[in-house]
Amino acid sequence: MTSPVLLITGASSGIGRATARLFAEKGYRVFGTSRRPEATAAISGVEFVALDVRDEASVKACTAQVLERAGRIDVLVNNAGYAMVGAVDETSPDEAQALFDTNVLGMLRMVRALLPTMHKQRSGRIVNTSSVLGFLPAPFKGAYASSKHAVEGLSESLDHEVRGFGIRVVLVQPNFTKAELGDNAVSVAASIEAYGLLKQRVSVATGKAMKAAPGPETVAAEILRAAEESYQMRRPVGSGAKLLSRLRRYMPAGPVDHSLQKTFALS
């Protein structure tokens, strides 16, 4: 029996690396992408391919290479992305544009490149890494949250468009993760003094959330379930994310707003 084929973006570290390793262990033929595959530590069973999701030519070259080697794509995991920290009015249009170019348009480029193959196969699953900030706001993460809201809207719309062709789209929604708030986060260049105290409060609250943050292996396990199990559009990762998802869905807007203000020590 031929092994199913996975292509995952952003596989050099964090969630992407853990996911590539897990799928390889489960018998998939795994293609992981990295902007510099020659400098990426090897993973048993994972074939690394060069990719910059911001570059259309790079996307086309990567997908062509994978299809030439494997002949098909069964699962696409759009994982490449990064977080951005800063108040909305500290965030320059250039910084926001760069963030969206990776987090949102990078996903769109990959979908456009691989959907023709999935259409021909009449099968496929696309798993997009979102966040609880795809359905909730967070102070000083406005640009990042808006990029994940965009990922959610694109993903749900896409699922309606392609399900008749045997293709489904799934959102995996981690709570704060160590990767999201660590090496994979950047701060905006500007700093407005008036926000100083609020930033300190939010930083302390975020630090507390980090203590319960899921590691990349936990998120990877949910991505595997998203690829293999019965269809479920949204998959929050961990008890905290599941609770937040239920609160957002079933609680009135006022109590949700008050809860967020309290959580981030802003009220």
Catalytic positions, written as ranges:
144
Q: How far apart are CA 175 and CA 129, in angstroms?
A: 11
Whether residue 128 contacts residue 80, with contact meaning beta carbons closer than 8 Å, is answered with no
Alpha carbon distances (Å) from 5 to 15, 30, 112, 177: 18, 6, 18, 27
Q: How far apart are CA 147 and CA 133, in angstroms?
A: 9
Instruction: Classify residue 45 by burial, with Cβ atoms within 10 Å: 0-12, 13-18, 19+.
Output: middle
Phi, psi at residue 4, to the nearest 5°? -65, 150
Q: How many CB atoms lie within 10 A of CB 247?
A: 14
Q: What tokens appear for 105 in the block?
A: 């348009």
Alpha carbon distances (Å) from 164 to 118, 153, 159, 167, 169: 12, 19, 9, 7, 12
Residue 134 C-beta-side C-alpha neighbours within 13 Å:
26
Residue 202 C-beta-side C-alpha neighbours within 13 Å:
17
Q: What tokens appear for 228 in the block?
A: 């293999």
